[in-house]
Amino acid sequence: MSVATRTKSFSRSRRRGRILNEIFLWFVLFIFFIPVLWIILTSVRIRSEINAFPPVWIPSGFSFDSYKILFGMPTPEGAFGLGGSIPVGDYARNSIVISLVSTLFALVLGTAAGFVFARFKFRYKNGTFLAMMLFRAIPGIALSLPLFILYARLGLSDTVPGMILIYVALNIPFTAWLMDGFFRAIPEELEDAARIDGCSHWGAFVRVDLPLALPGAAAAGIFAFLTSWNEFALASIITRTPASRTFPPALFEFTGQFVSDWRGMTAMSVLMLIPAVIFVAIVQRQLMEGLTSGATKG
Amino acid sequence: MSEKKKKVSRREFLKLSGIAGGAAALAACAPAAPQAPAEQPAEQPAEQPTQAPAVVGKPFAGKTLRMHAISGANYDELYKLIPAWEEKTGAKVEFVFKGNGFETDKRLVQDFAAGTVDYDVCWDHSSFFSQYVKAGGLEPLDNYFSEEELADFIPSLLDATRKDGHLWVIPRHFDISCLHYRTDIGIEKPPETWDEFKQMAIDITKNNPGIFGTQFAGKEEALTGRWYEIQTAEGGELFNEKWEPIFNGPAAVKAATMLAELYQAGAMPPDMTNYLWEDVATQWVNGIIGMYTEWYGWYSFFQDPNSSKVAGKFDLARQPKGDAGIHSGWAGHHGFSITKASKEKEMAADLIKWLTSPDGNRLEAKLGFLVSRQSVWDEIIAEAEGSDDPLAKKRLELALLQAREDFKTPPLIAEWIPMSNIVYPILQQIMLGDKEPQAGLDEAVEKTYELMKEAGYYG
Amino acid sequence: MTTRPLAQEAVASRRRWRISLSERHLPFILLLPSVIIMLLVIGFPMLYSLYLSLTSYTLTTAQNYDFIGLKNYATLLFDDPLFWASFGRTVLFITLAVNIEFLLGLGIAHLIARAIRGQSVARTLIMMPMMFAPILVGFQFKWFFNAQVGLVNNILYAITGEPHFIPWLIDKPLGFISILIAEIWMSTPFMVVILEAGILSLPQEPFEAAEVDGASGWQKFRHLTLPMLLPFIYTAMAIRSLDIARAYDVVQIMTGGGPANRTELIWTYVNRLAFTGQQFAVGAAMSYITVIFSWIFTWWFFYNVIKSRWAGGQS
């Protein structure tokens, strides 16, 4: 199962193949990484070199003005094409709070739902499960206007709880489906043993199933977090002000009708990537562990 | 199960929307009860405009005015006048939304449709206001602005937002198309007609490697509008008096054919059909365009050597004429409107007066905007006499001339943007050679007829 | 692979679950919050737009519209070649994207799984595109494919020494290929993650046996890896097919469906019609037609999942 032991079992004669494999891998990764590099580079370039023709390959210098503007520090040029200061702190707070809280709720509810689908038998179970998955197939743009009207009536538009609710709903189906697979992968004998030891079903769930399913929850959590973190169609309609606006619609604000601040946009993108990278880097080992335990198997 | 749930959420929904008091959109949801009982705040305040000045000094003390405004570029500078107004009136201004023009328009359309307007003043535009009027979102301004108060505004601007016998928008600044051409690549004099324009564009491309003769914004309303102004110059009309689309006549076909010929001759950048305003300006400042029609509003950007390779290397001219002898300039203006939902219309009008005052105009004129008051124009033209920029005065005089004589807005109907939405992909097809001009415009006319019919124009 | 109890035991243990009354209600109590939230946030708006799709509602006539039955649907289905063109293009887009993403994903997953060191770093790197908001991907690739100052043409310029102004987003197959590339860049990592998980969970014994028998790499892949990976492949491709509406953000920003409808997908068309064109009812009808098609697909897919998972059988 573990990669290390498997690697050892390969014979030495394969070494050259391995090295080729390594070179090829890092080459492919580099290709995939170009857009990331490009974003970072653009964010610190001198403005006149960004859209220059003929292209300027070697920057004549670097400028951190875009970051300074984002952090409200004075710059010689000032904010370009954008009125006033950019409430990047508010956006960051909203994005982090909304993504984390909605992920948490989606995990709790999705785990509960997955547990039910994996362990209980009841009428209309298949129907309920299918209905949930059908909800997943609906794209944001089809929901946007009716949801906007509903939210305005309920007083939820432009609020953080409103956004959390949306992302919880969007993430429950996939989470439930993944967790259903994880619970299924746990041998029922373990649970039965716990029951014999006097645990209630609830107790068995908490003591046996849940700890074993945790890596799976981490995997589901990554997907849920990234969905919320990057969602644009609904966020751009429901959020209006820094009270609830998240990063993706805020990125869009850098494009004007007449002027766009590409460098500012890339700078904010870099800021937006940092928490996501940290989150993924921390959880990616659990992700692999979780996914290999069988959740994604049909 | 889903039946039961549906009932619950419907009931909750009815209850909560009753509390919210927004009857309009509820009617949309429950068609049985269209005119719900909630109070209609629209009529009352209009009839008692004399109550406001009761408090001496600070007439709106303690009140909050909510505003839905455009933001970005230099648009926010004007809002620096707001603290002084707050000081004067005792009111407080709260921005419920700020965004670029397209975004602001999108939000307004949605808010008026959904009945979710919770602000008093909104940004408005001459190309867009007809939609808001049709949706019932705006308050007529005639009762809030006297004849004397309006007298100073350039008349063509006010006319551009009069509809159904009412004035809907107070203009803040305007813009109009103007021919920009390079003086460093052998253009001796600007083209007088669109025929000359076409030939020159092709010649410039031939004689100057690396430079395209011309360009246009190539999608959405920007493309439809550019085509519209050329076909107007050629003597075309979009609609007849019965609002039937007639833009498949010779003038319209000629305009579309010109766009196609220029594109296919390589006299315009190959990815032009993906350009919007910003992109054409970028190409221009990169120095790869010979001449094109552009808004005045970019001027300071174009003349800034830090951002522009063509600073000091271009001149301006009135738009070319067409066969009909018309110099048509596509024009539009930004302004402010009062929402029908506002409960503080007097206060809203007061803020609009403050922002469109001569002081507001002067502040915006300094940023390069073409402002809305004639008296301020006299001042800034006089000021431009002393400028070191030789173009400064010419620019202003030309703009004023165009505003008075060539000012041409798109048709003042709510269907302008939906219509453009039909027309522009077809214009693109014509330019890219997927369709013949006549066949394409016939199709566009047919679809537009359907649109207008659905909208109830033909009885 | 995972061990499962015999069928009878499973039935017996499940029967025990149903003994007490409170436990009989447990599934409903556990499901209820999810159901309520989803009905509120997704179910209700969908019903509302279903209702609107049967009316003449436009954004400027929101206070005054008529019930017109299935007219919007009929117009789209029988009288709008653009709808069918966009629909066909969307299906082609999904098919190409999902298959190419699968092949690339499988290749990269293999490379990572066989890497000697740096696996976590490689995995984090390859997941970078998943961390990009789709609108950012759109802006980025729009810029890459810009004819004048875009990265792709600039690289060609640097290599050949002559300026190239290839209009990537405009020319007929190129525009479609460009949006496809952006989508593939954005979504291949998802495939990599799922398929790598599959590769890592493969049992060792059959491979060792095959090695002893002197099987070639391709034979091992063809007869061992691929069949055992099938459940993962199935899952990853199906999830991607359902998720592809995410490509809306990317395409909307890169081309907006243009020029001349050459890159028009269903969702850019819905946006152009429902919001820019104000004909919300028609847009809602179009959403419904499309959603119903993807529901049929979802139903088919999950029906099979249910069958394989809940029949208690091995996948």
Confidence of residue B36 (pLDDT cuts 50, 70, 90): very low
Query: Is B9 in Cβ contact with C43 (below 8 Å)?
Result: yes
Mean predicted confidence (pLDDT) in B171-177: 94
Whole-number Å distance between alpha carbons of B402 and B330? 10
Of A258, A261, A262, A263, which to mutate for an interface test with B (greatest number of B Cβ within 10 Å)?
A: A258
Burial class (CB in 10 A: 0-12, 13-18, 19+), A192: middle
Gap between the Cα atoms of C168 and C151, Å rounded: 11
Angle at C238 between CA C282 and CA A135, to 5 degrees: 45
User: Among all residues of chain A, which has the CA nearest to that of C300?
Assistant: A130
pLDDT digits (tens, 9 = 90+) for C32-45: 999 999 999 999 99
Mean local confidence (pLDDT), C222-233: 82
Q: Answer whether residue B215 shows pLDDT above 60.
A: yes
Angstrom distance (rounded) from CA C67 to CA C51: 9
Prior bond of C259 cis (ω within 30°) = yes
pLDDT over 60 at B125, yes or no? yes
Judge: C256–B219 Cβ closer than 8 Å, yes or no.
yes
Q: Where are the alpha helices (DSSP H) in B34-164?
A: 44-47, 82-89, 101-114, 129-134, 147-151, 155-160
Interface test with A, best of B2, B122, B271, B278 (most A CBs within 10 A): B278
Looking at residue C1, its pLDDT comes to 38
pLDDT bin (cut points 50, 70, 90) of residue A5 is: very low
In a domain, C237, yes or no: yes
Nearest residue of C to residue B34 by CA position? C63
Q: How many domains does chain C have?
A: 1
- Chain pair B-C, CB pairs under 8 angstroms: 127
Q: Helix, strand, or coil here: B94?
A: strand
Which residue range(s) make up the domain with C184?
76-310
Of C238, C251, C122, the residue nearest C186 (C-alpha): C251
Average pLDDT value for residue range B187-212:
94
Q: Which chains touch A (3 or more CB pairs under 8 A)?
A: B, C
CB C40 within 8 A of CB A169: yes
**What does the alpha-carbon distance between residue B63 and residue B60 come to, in Å, rounded to a whole number?**
6
Contact between C74 and C209 under an 8 Å Cβ cutoff? The reply is no
CATH number reported for the structural domain that contains residue C206 in this entry: 1.10.3720.10
Mean pLDDT for A49-55 is 74
The helix (H) or strand (E) run that includes residue B330 is strand B329-338
> Which of the pair, B272 or B74, is modelled with greater confidence?
B272
**Is pLDDT above 70 for B73?**
no
Residues whose CB is less than 8 angstroms from the CB of residue A87 and which lie 6 or more positions away in sequence, other chains included: A242
Interface check B35 vs C, CB under 8 A: no
Reported residue count of chain C is: 315
Distance from CA of C254 to the nearest CA of B (A): 9
> What's the half-sphere exposure (Cβ side, CA atoms, 13 Å) at A170?
32
- H helices within B100-139, ranges in order? 101-114, 129-134
Q: What is the ipTM of this complex?
A: 0.85
Residue A12 is predicted with a pLDDT of: 57
A196-226 burial, b at 16+ Cβ within 10 Å, e below that, comes to eeebebeebbeebbeebbbbbbbbbbbbbbb
In the CATH hierarchy, which fold is given to the domain comprising B177-328+411-454? D-Maltodextrin-Binding Protein; domain 2 (3.40.190)
Indicate the domain borders of chain A: 10-70, 88-295
| Most A-contacting residue of B100, B211, B301 (CB-CB within 10 A), to test interface | B100
Mean pLDDT for the stretch of residues B47-73: 72
Give residue B176's identity as a one-letter amino acid code: I
Top-confidence range, A92-106, B8-22, C227-241, C263-277: A92-106
A53 touching chain B per CB within 8 A:
yes
Structure tokens at B193: 């007609």
pLDDT of the residue at A293:
66
Judging contacts by C-beta atoms under 8 Å, the chain A residues touching residue B79 are 83
Confidence of residue C310 (pLDDT cuts 50, 70, 90): low
* C89 pLDDT more than 80: yes
Distance (Å, whole) CA A1 – CA A7: 11
CA-only gyration radius of chain C, Å: 25
Cβ pairs bridging A and C (under 8 Å):
297
The lowest-confidence range among A281-290, B58-67, C198-207 is A281-290
CATH of region B44-168+331-405, choose from 3.90.1530.30, 3.40.190.10, 3.40.50.880, 3.60.20.30: 3.40.190.10
Please list, in sequence order, all residues whose beta carbon lies within 8 angstroms of the beta carbon of residue B87, skipping any fewer than 6 positions away.
none
Q: CA-to-CA distance for B241 and C221, rounded, in angstroms? A: 73
Q: Is A122 on the interface with B (CB under 8 A)?
A: no
E-strand ranges in chain A read none
* φ and ψ of C19, to 5 deg: -65, -60
Length of chain B: 459
pLDDT(A237) > 80? yes
Q: Is the dihedral of CA B91, B93, B96, B100 positive or negative?
A: positive
C132 to chain A, minimum CA–CA distance in Å?
A: 7
Element (H, E) at B92: strand B92-99
Nearest to B321 by CA among B232, B259, B258, B435: B232
* C310 burial via Cβ count (<10 Å: 0-12, 13-18, 19+): middle
- For the segment A123-162, what is each residue's pLDDT rounded down to a tens digit? 888 888 888 888 877 877 778 889 998 998 899 989 999 9
Classify residue C267: in a domain, yes or no: yes
Find chain B residues with C-beta within 8 A of A82's C-beta: 71-72
By the CB < 8 Å criterion, does A63 face chain B? no
Band the pLDDT of A219: cuts 50, 70, 90: confident
Cβ atoms of residues C193 and C127 within 8 Å? yes
Whether B53 shows a pLDDT value over 60: the answer reads no
**Whether the domain at B44-168+331-405 and the domain at B177-328+411-454 fall into the same CATH topology:** yes
Domain boundaries, chain B: 44-168+331-405, 177-328+411-454
3-state helix, strand, coil in chain B (%, to 5): 50, 15, 35
Domain assignment present for C55: no
Q: Is the pLDDT score of B118 beyond 70? A: yes
Burial class (CB in 10 A: 0-12, 13-18, 19+), C210: middle
* Structure confidence at residue A83 as a pLDDT band (50, 70, 90): very low
Cβ–Cβ gap C62/B114 under 8 Å: yes
Q: Is B433 on the interface with C (CB under 8 A)?
A: no
The answer to whether the beta carbons of residues C57 and A146 sit under 8 Å apart is no
- B51 interfaces chain C, CB cutoff of 8 Å: no
Instruction: Pull the structure tokens for residue C18.
Output: 């149903």
Determine the pLDDT at residue B56: 60
Q: Which residue, among C152, C149, C155, has the nearest Cα to C182 in the 3D structure?
A: C152
- pLDDT given for residue C309 in this prediction: 65
User: pLDDT digit string (tens) for B343-362?
Assistant: 999 999 999 999 999 999 99
Integer Cα distance of A100 and A168 in angstroms: 10
Q: Which chains touch B (3 or more CB pairs under 8 A)?
A: A, C
B72:A51 CB<8 A = no
User: What is the signed CA dihedral for B141, B146, B151, B156, rounded to 10 degrees?
Assistant: 20
B459 in contact with C, Cβ within 8 Å: no
Residue B153: strand, helix, or coil: strand
Give φ, ψ of B160 to 5 degrees: -70, -15
- Calculate what percentage of chain B has a pLDDT beyond 70: 88
- Taking CB atoms and an 8 Å limit, are A277 and C309 in contact across chains? no
Per-residue tokens: C65? 């519209």
Helices (H), C127-261: 128-131, 134-144, 151-160, 172-200, 205-212, 217-220, 226-243, 247-254
Contact C42, A151 (CB under 8 A): no
Q: What is the mean pLDDT of residues C211-239?
A: 82
Look at C39 and B5 and tell me if their CB atoms are within 8 Å. yes
CATH number for the region A88-295 comes to 1.10.3720.10
pLDDT attached to residue B291:
96
CB-based burial, B302-317: b 16+ in 10 Å, e otherwise? bbeeebbebeeebbbb
User: Over chain A, what is the mean pLDDT?
Assistant: 82
Tens digit of pLDDT for each residue in B222-251?
999 999 999 999 999 999 999 999 999 999
B429 contacts C59? CB cut-off 8 A: no
Contact B414 C60 (CB under 8 A): yes
Rg (CA), chain A: 24
* Closest C-alpha among A69, A24, A74, A21 to residue A44: A69
Answer whether B131 sits within 8 Å of C59, measured CB to CB. Answer: yes
Most confident of A174-188, B134-148, C1-15: B134-148
In the prediction, which pLDDT does B289 show?
95
Position B356, amino acid: T
B237 vs B251: CA distance, rounded Å:
8
pLDDT at C10 over 50: no
Cβ contact, residue pair B5, C43, below 8 Å:
yes
Residues C229/C232/C237/C238 CA torsion (nearest 10 deg): 140
List of residues 6+ apart from C151 with CB closer than 8 A? A38, C143, C144
Cα–Cα–Cα angle for B415, C266, B131, nearest 5°?
15
